[in-house]
Amino acid sequence: MQKQFHKLSMVLGAMLTGALLTGVVTSLPSGLRSDAYADQQASARSAQQNLAKQNLSTAQDLSTAFRNVADAIRPSVVSISTARTMLVRGGGGMNELPPEFRRNLPPGFEDFFDFDRRRGNRGNSSPERRRMQTGMGSGVIVRADGYILTNNHVVANADEVTVELSDGTELTAEVVGTDPPTDLAVLKVDQDGLMPVAIGSSDNIQVGDWVLAIGSPFGLDQTVTAGIISGKNRVQGIVGNGNGYEDFLQTDAAINPGNSGGPLVNLRGELVGINTAIASRSGGNNGIGFAIPVSLAKPILSSIIETGKVQRGFLGAQVGDVNSTTSEEFGLKVKQGALISSVLDDQPAAKAGLQPGDVVTEIDGKTIRSGTQLRNYVASRKPGSTINMTVNRNGNEVAISVKLGELNEDAIALFSDGGTLGLTVQPLTSETAKRYGYDADEEGLLVTGVEDGSAAAEHGIQPGDIIQKANGEDVRSDKDLEKAAAAARQSGQSLRLTVRRENSLMMIPVPLD
């Protein structure tokens, strides 16, 4: 018992001694605690010397490069303001939403903001009034004699376009031509001696390369942001109601409303893209921006300046991507390329010898990895030009030369097949509108029949429905519907129909096989 008590006394004594020593240490003057802070100071001084010699010099070089690019590009960047007089009836609806918000809505979504119609206030229930709608954007000077490249959506439907140069000079601009399928437009100001941007190569730029975006976000002109190329060959389905030509560069350089149409440049100050769109739920920058590559923009620019319009090559074939489904269906021997899924009789592709199941792997020495890439390349060539293809056919390489036709309405109509939708439609008149329970001023195509088992039937379209839009465009005749279907089919997209059924408005995508 005494031994146990002795051991317990020793333990308690040790604990008491430790506590006393801790109290002594913590009560010592701060200078006697440790040399930790002094060590930190020494490390900081050493790190500052290292930064000055190594890291800081590297960062300073990059900072200098940014400044040089900003100085070099500044006289070539312009701010664009637009004005449009609109006749509006009543209040609310899309016209009351800011332009920046409307631009981020998906195609056709504006129908759901037609509040007057949804309330049943059709016709002349509210007086019309004039309203001035304004917009803003950016652009880049491409020729010394006053030609400017920008986005189509910046100047679309504008009554007045004003360009502000980097020195504050304001000039009235003429819209020389627009190209909605690529969202590009060319302006002209009456001014000589301007400084055009140097044109670079979007094909050679790589993921990870530094780029700068310059423009007028929120009206703040000559704003410069830096980032890298985050991705290439992005297809988002946001141009031309989903049927446009897309091959976006993706960047994390900050792009915001007002940047549209401005230049994306590399560290040599060369134009590699036109800032166009962002992926954002808030409408502001989330680090994902998209720019039209200059390789896609150059032929559009040249065509508009030379002729005032865009002329595109026409292949006369439906193309798609190589994937697991098509590989199994066609027994393909390659893992990437553009699949020729069908060929139109007596058209350029057929005349050159292209066949369904062929996979185009190269055009004019350029590797082809997707159907979108082939479609964009063909569209960038002038009608009558010849392209040289390398085709994989049943595992064998075949060289084929194709003389392109011209992509026009007649060519697009060749893809049309009215039976594919399985619909019978007729233009809506005031009499038929009343008969089916709609107001007399309702417009669109009345569905009078739906074929059993058709794509339209499978996706819920019913007799009595009114098709108001196809891919965001008004339809007033069966030809309008066929044209929209042909464009969607050629691009491999679903046909998006805006349909009114009694008091409901809905959007119905119909796949076109």
Return the structure tokens found at 508: 């119905």
Mean pLDDT of 9-21: 47
Catalytic residue among 76, 202, 260, 380: 260
Of all residues in the chain, what percent carry a pLDDT higher than 90? Answer: 41
Q: Does 183 participate in catalysis according to the annotation?
A: yes
- Phi, psi angle pair for 87, to nearest 5°: -100, 120
DSSP single-letter state for residue 197: P
Cα atoms found within 13 Å of the Cα of residue 178, Cβ hemisphere only: 14
* Span 379-436, pLDDT tens digits: 999 999 999 999 999 889 999 999 999 988 888 777 654 456 778 777 887 777 877 7
Q: Does 6 participate in catalysis according to the annotation?
A: no
Q: Does 190 participate in catalysis according to the annotation?
A: no
Catalytic residue among 81, 111, 138, 183: 183
Query: What's the confidence (pLDDT) of residue 130?
Result: 77
- Phi, psi angle pair for 274, to nearest 5°: -110, 115
DSSP single-letter state for residue 183: T
CB 336 within 8 A of CB 385: no
CB 197 within 8 A of CB 142: yes
Cβ neighbours, 10 Å, residue 353: 14
Cα atoms found within 13 Å of the Cα of residue 234, Cβ hemisphere only: 22
Q: What angle do CA 134, 302, 381 make, to 5 degrees?
A: 120
Annotated binding residues for substrate, written as ranges, equal 153, 183, 258-260
Q: Is the pLDDT of residue 102 over 70?
A: no
Query: What's the confidence (pLDDT) of residue 321?
Result: 85
The residue written with tokens 């679309």 in the block is: 156
- Which range is least confidently modeled, 4-8, 82-86, 150-154, 496-500? 4-8
The domains located in the chain, with CATH, are 59-86+131-308 (2.40.10.120), 312-412 (2.30.42.10), 418-510 (2.30.42.10)
Catalytic residue among 138, 153, 295, 303: 153
Using left for φ > 0, alpha for ψ between -120 and 50, and beta otherwise, residue 208 falls in: left
Annotated binding residues, written as ranges, equal 153, 183, 258-260
Please state, in angstroms and rounded to a whole number, the distance separating the CA atoms of residues 155 and 175: 8
